[in-house]
Amino acid sequence: MSAITDKAKAAANKTAGTVKDAVGKATGNTELQAEGKAQKAKGAAQDVSGSIKSKLGDKI
């Protein structure tokens, strides 16, 4: 995956995770809330991956 792709997927996962976390919290659904937190963490990891790839010129 390219750095741009990683960054785009990171943004999508962070957004979806935030929504799931908020809906889970509002409805008392702890499972959905946990899923949202996990998805936000996945997005953060993808963001780091994209940053590293852009610094290394996609050579990894």
What confidence score (pLDDT) does residue 15 get?
97
Mapped to the 3 state alphabet, what secondary structure does the chain carry? CCHHHHHHHHHHHHHHHHHHHHHHHHHCCHHHHHHHHHHHHHHHHHHHHHHHHHHHCCCC
Number of domains in the chain: 1
pLDDT tens digits, 12-45: 999 999 999 999 999 999 999 999 999 999 999 9
pLDDT band at 60 (very low <50, low <70, confident <90, very high): low
Q: Which residue has the higher pLDDT, 55 or 38?
A: 38
**What is the domain range of residue 46?**
3-56
